[in-house]
Amino acid sequence: MARSIVPPYLLARLATADAERFPAATAAARRTLRMDAPRKAARLTLSVDGDSLVAELSDAPDREVSDAGGREVLPGRVVRREGQEPSGDVAADEAYDGLGATFDLFSEVFGRNSIDDAGLPLRATVHYGRLYDNAFWDGERMVFGDGDGEVFQRFTRSLSVIGHELAHGVTQFSSGLEYHDQPGALNESISDVFGALVEQYARRQTTAEASWLVGEGLFTPAVEGRALRSMREPGTAYDDDVLGKDPQPAHLDDYITTRDDDGGVHLNSGIPNRAFVLAADALGGHAWERAGVIWYDTLTGGLNPAVDFAGFAAATARAAAARYGEVSAEVDAVRAGWDGVGVTIDGGRA
């Protein structure tokens, strides 16, 4: 049994202190409580009931980061496990922190125990391949390339990318949305939504403060662009001589019908992305508190894997009404968000 000089109840108290007055101390206390917990054992969830501090036990992350060493073989050599000190490899440590930040959002906001809601270990591999310009979720782990150094930098630089890819796992284990055409665009959009929320939750940003950019920081300075996608303003993320102009539509009137990209899943995801931002903006505050909860309830509420935009929009309105009431600001915000991108709530394939 571990013995520590600072008792856990003092750390628990400090973890609930005024974060504005003691930002470093509260953050350090929370981190220490987590690090002190055994691997795959319990973590403290803290709340205040009147004058009493209430500490409840919840699941902790179980992370493992491996290094592929430039090969295209998974998983690679393990370089950092849960609770270990930083490895000194920037990519490995960014991946480790990103896995933790994603776990925190889903655990602390939505009450979900890891990606599958059953304590799935979070695994990642960095330095995958040579000059590999991508990151992906392979159904079991996150895999990151290092980029090419001319257009793309290492893919662990972006917390929204890490959250995005892990959110594909949440979709995999909850609704199994098909990956083509409109359900595929929704699949991509849901990952963008939760990827953005992972970043915002880690930074404690309001919807107004957030960039709503997915993949910010991935481009080198040589590229005329801010990110891979803009959720607030689809079609504006980049305009570069080499990459061309961001082709994402922001409204259903401009929906792209194509056989490429599995029916345009990365293109048309801009439409539901903007709907979410409009809803979050209308509600204000932190997007994960209401808009994010509505989207999470929708994703985990028995969604048809073949749902189209209109059907998904209707499902979000029902989720908002179920949680907040038929007549509520939340329902109004959701409906206005979809109206803003030209998606009719009634009559979709739900």
**pLDDT one-digit tens code per residue, 1-59:** 232 222 333 335 445 545 555 454 445 435 434 534 432 334 445 555 555 555 554 56
Mean local confidence (pLDDT), 109-113: 95
Where is the domain boundary, 157, 173, 201? 157
Mean local confidence (pLDDT), 255-267: 92
Percentage above 90 pLDDT, the chain: 75
Please check whether residues 87 and 33 belong to one and the same domain. Answer: no
Please check whether residues 87 and 124 belong to one and the same domain. Answer: yes
Say if 177 falls within a structural domain.
no
Say if 281 falls within a structural domain.
yes
pLDDT tens digits for range 286-328: 999 999 999 999 999 999 999 999 999 999 999 999 999 999 9
Please check whether residues 243 and 318 belong to one and the same domain. Answer: yes
Choose the catalytic residue: 127, 164, 168, 266: 266
| Residue at token pair 């920037």 | 90
Percentage above 70 pLDDT, the chain: 82
Please check whether residues 211 and 77 belong to one and the same domain. Answer: no
165 classed as catalytic: yes
Q: Which of the pair, 112 or 52, is modelled with greater confidence?
A: 112
- pLDDT above 90: residue 242: no
Q: Which of the pair, 285 or 345, is modelled with greater confidence?
A: 285
Please check whether residues 72 and 38 belong to one and the same domain. Answer: no
Please check whether residues 151 and 107 belong to one and the same domain. Answer: yes
Lowest mean pLDDT among 12-26, 93-107, 194-208, 307-321: 12-26
* Alpha-carbon gap, residue 240 to 244, rounded angstroms: 5
Mean local confidence (pLDDT), 207-228: 95
Q: Which of the pair, 308 or 260, is modelled with greater confidence?
A: 308
Choose the catalytic residue: 165, 178, 188, 330: 165
Where is the domain boundary, 122, 157, 192? 157
* Alpha-carbon gap, residue 103 to 112, rounded angstroms: 8
- Assign 14 to helix, strand or coil: helix
Say if 16 falls within a structural domain.
yes
Helices (H), ranges, the chain: 8-15, 23-36, 90-104, 159-174, 181-203, 261-268, 270-283, 291-299, 309-324, 329-339
326 classed as catalytic: no
pLDDT at 20: 58
Looking at the structure of the chain, the number of domains it has is 3
pLDDT at 9: 30
pLDDT tens digits for range 120-144: 999 999 999 998 999 988 888 999 9
Say if 38 falls within a structural domain.
yes
pLDDT at 209: 98
Say if 3 falls within a structural domain.
no
Please check whether residues 215 and 78 belong to one and the same domain. Answer: no
pLDDT at 35: 38
pLDDT tens digits for range 138-185: 888 999 999 989 889 999 999 999 999 999 999 999 998 999 999 999
Where is the domain boundary, 59, 83, 98? 59
Confidence of residue 345 (pLDDT cuts 50, 70, 90): confident
Please check whether residues 72 and 18 belong to one and the same domain. Answer: no
Say if 258 falls within a structural domain.
yes
Which CATH number does the domain housing residue 274 bear?
1.10.390.10
Backbone angles phi, psi at 115, to 5 degrees: -65, -40
Please check whether residues 52 and 95 belong to one and the same domain. Answer: no
pLDDT at 39: 28
Say if 41 falls within a structural domain.
yes
Which CATH number does the domain housing residue 72 bear?
3.10.170.10
Burial 140-154 (b: 16+ CB within 10 A, else e): ebbbbbbbeeebbbb
Please check whether residues 127 and 250 belong to one and the same domain. Answer: no
- Assign 157 to helix, strand or coil: helix
Apex CA 304: angle with CA 301 and CA 308, to 5°?
A: 115
Please check whether residues 233 and 306 belong to one and the same domain. Answer: yes
Domain that holds residue 110: 63-157
Say if 167 falls within a structural domain.
no
Please check whether residues 132 and 34 belong to one and the same domain. Answer: no
